Amino acid sequence: MNSHNASAFVWGGDAVYGDRLVVKDGKPTRVTATESRLKSLYSQILEENPYYPLPTAYHFGTIDDHDYGKNNGDKNFPLKAQSASAFIDFIDTSNEHLNVVEDVAKQRAKAGEGVYGVKVFAYPLNSPPVAYNEDANGYPSSVPSSNNTVAIFYLDCRSNKDPWPKGFDFSLEKGIGLDMLGEKQWTWFEENLRKSNARVNIVMNGLQVLSQSRVPNGNLAEDWEKFPQSKTRLLNSVMNSGVKAPILLTGDVHMSQLLRVTCTAQSSVRTLYELTTSGITHSWSTFFSPQPEHREFWFYPYMCFLSSTFMHLSHIVMPWNEVNVDEKTGQKDYSIELNYAKFDFAEIEKGRVLAEVMTPDGVAISKTFQLNDIDPVVGEGGEYDCQPYRGSVSNLHLIVGYFFTVGFLLVFALGPVLSVIGGGLYVLWRVVAKVTKMVRREGKDKIE
């Protein structure tokens, strides 16, 4: 990571896991974070990880649920201002080598309004990149209009998110009317997006936006699909703002994916991409628990097999038609290995941007965005309908997908447990049968 000489390092959420899973009274229980625990975890990153902070990079970003302090956390979390403040202090310490000044986004975050904002980077030819902070009016007015600027909008999908209803029934209808960002953040985002004169506009938040057909319960798996009005508003805000070359950037799911949809409004047809990168320390290939003590369990290798095989199977049988297929290899663009994403803007003035997902084995996903292909369409307008580029999902395909994935879990997750129980019962039955036979034989001998 250090070898890239990066101009920016962007956190997309879950920088630390403030909440944790513990066993209380024999039951697994999630304990929410405290302010002191969050600060301690951030200190560990700064002190113990040799890759961080990157010596040349400007550090910024947003939070997701675990560095917010609560799994699947929402606007009702009482420590949201404290967790945001701890994150901002961590970012400030990471930027000490740059003498970064206080900006509007930091003040807003420390007030508990949310960790969101915009950073703009200019990449002059043969010169170091220049970073512009948000000013009092939002999008930095001092940014020159040119073909070498990149705006990164980072949104907070926790501090103002409506809570998903309690329970584990599988119905997406419960998400109707729920809001992801809160009206104040929406207004800020929509106004400042329209101000952007950048050649590339990256919109980042913690949760996947374009994913479809995931588990239909917001307490088990989160994404924007479960908040349909918010998803529609986000996509139309991006598509109707007039910004050039929008690209979505997300995390959360312990793997990397390149997602792609076709968006249609009246006579306008556009392509929108989303790059998901997650995570640096654990993924589906390593069993996705962030707690090191879980890797000491004797059955940890089996859990790694179970989680990795399950996710590979899901990409085969589930109707995830939004997952991009590489035109050269014919393979789906995803990886379950530890990963991070790298954007290369060296050829931005030529209308090209390279995005790569890096794993311990090298490049897992590589996409060169031709900016003209994802730019706004002249005369566009109206509400966009965005569908997976490989076709909409059929109910039959979805049912078959769930049949195989749930069946796999039942066989390979519960199978060993049932085998042990069954084996134990069989041994017990044999022992009881043998003892009973001996007792009967002794009784018969006495009678004779």
Each residue's pLDDT expressed in tens, for the chain with a length of 448 residues: 878 888 999 999 999 999 988 877 878 888 999 999 999 999 999 998 776 778 788 999 999 999 999 999 999 999 999 999 999 999 999 998 887 766 889 899 999 999 999 999 998 766 778 888 888 888 988 887 788 999 999 999 999 999 999 887 777 788 899 999 999 999 999 999 999 999 999 999 999 999 998 888 888 899 999 999 999 999 999 999 999 999 999 999 999 999 999 999 987 899 999 999 998 999 999 976 777 777 777 778 888 999 999 999 999 999 999 999 999 999 999 999 999 999 999 999 999 999 999 999 999 999 999 999 999 876 667 889 999 999 988 999 999 999 999 999 888 887 776 666 777 777 778 777 777 777 677 666 655 5
In-domain check, residue 440: no
In-domain check, residue 45: yes
Burial of residue 447, with CB atoms counted within 10 A of its CB: 0-12 exposed, 13-18 middle, 19 or more buried: exposed
In-domain check, residue 245: yes
| C-alpha of 359 from chain center | 16
304's enclosing H/E stretch is: helix 300-317
CATH of the domain at 376: 3.60.21
Burial of residue 65, with CB atoms counted within 10 A of its CB: 0-12 exposed, 13-18 middle, 19 or more buried: buried
Instruction: Give one DSSP letter per residue of 173-203, joined into a string.
Output: GGGTT--SS-HHHHHHHHHHHHH---SEEEE
In-domain check, residue 430: no
In-domain check, residue 439: no
Number of domains composing the chain: 1
Task: Write the CA distances from 342 to 195, 222, 276, 354, integer angstroms.
Answer: 26, 25, 11, 8
SS3 state of residue 148: coil
In-domain check, residue 370: yes
In-domain check, residue 433: no
- The residue type of 32 is T
Q: Which residues form the domain of 127?
A: 2-393
- How long a stretch of residues is the chain? 448
**Any residues with CB less than 8 A from the CB of 413 and at least 6 apart, and which?**
306
In-domain check, residue 423: no
Is the pTM of the predicted complex or chain greater than 0.85?
yes
Q: Residue 252 in contact with residue 206, Cβ under 8 Å?
A: yes
CB atoms within 10 A of CB 269: 12
